[in-house]
Amino acid sequence: MGSDKTVVLSRRLTALCAMVTPGMRVVDVGCDHGFADIYLVRQGISPGVLAMDLRPGPLAGARSHIGAWGLEDYITVRLSDGLQAFETGEAQSLICAGMGGRLMRRILEEGREKAQALEELILQPQSEIREFREYLSAAGYYTVQERALVEEGKYYFLMKAVAASRAGDAVKLRQRKQRAKLCRRVILQGCPEEQAVAVTEQLCHRFGALLLLERDETLYSYLEGELEKRSKIEERLGGLESGRGRMRLKELQAETEWCRRAISLCRQIGSEKETEG
């Protein structure tokens, strides 16, 4: 199959590709230069990929790279704004990564029927992560896998989601049990029961239910870094007298409290795991 050259990906792209269910055809929205698509085919993960991008420049680069590996029969290149040029049934798995959460939400909303007909969505928002998780939940998606990683000092949060129509009873039951388990731990931390469900949902949207339940080491490192960073900013803002400064300080203190809650939850889960071990 084409060239014998090795495709070398970043840790982020390698992790995204690893989330794809083997044997599924993939549509890559925002394919950039196509290296992830080449990797998917070369590694035998996907039998074929539809590589799409809004920008003609990167798409031309992708076409060139695909040709250099001799994979024109396996990877189709297509100019597209989001899912506009994609037809339902051309792929079973979606990769949408490396762009802002707001843009990703627009892509999924504008192509709502196409997106929900896919068997899985592999997603990695670069920003507005909490808001994007809230959107997925409100739009009826179930998150079935999460991964956090750090590369060159930057944290990335990856997720695999399935639409409610594709989720099945087992997936829905598992999510209810996961939320209930986290909710019980939130109550044990002293949260009033009448507030626990809302607090649990906020924690899940902000930091990822599965990452919290696993006491993910990368998430824990991220939370500690965020706590330290916010504390320093709070110190600088503490002496400001302006209304805007006081408002910003109040916002930061609220965000800091969510980080503290999540760290406490991770420590609690870690302690339980050590006891079980």
CA-nearest of 125, 83, 123, 89 to 107 is: 83
Q: What's the chain's Rg over C-alpha atoms?
A: 21
Give pLDDT tens digits for 245-267. Answer: 677 777 888 888 999 999 999 98
* Global confidence as pTM: 0.91
- Model confidence at 244: pLDDT above 80: no
What CATH code is assigned to 11-127?
3.40.50.150
How high is the pLDDT of residue 45?
Answer: 98
For residue 242, name the pLDDT band (cuts at 50, 70, 90).
low
pLDDT higher than threshold 80 for residue 199 = yes
Domains in the chain: boundaries: 11-127, 170-276
CA 139 to CA 164: how far, in whole Å?
A: 9
Confidence check: pLDDT of 277 > 60: no
Residue 239 scores a pLDDT above 80: no
How far is Cα 45 from Cα 20, in angstroms, rounded to an integer?
A: 7
pLDDT per residue over 91-119, tens digit each? 999 999 999 999 999 999 999 999 999 99
d(CA 14, CA 6): 13
Average pLDDT over all residues of the chain: 92
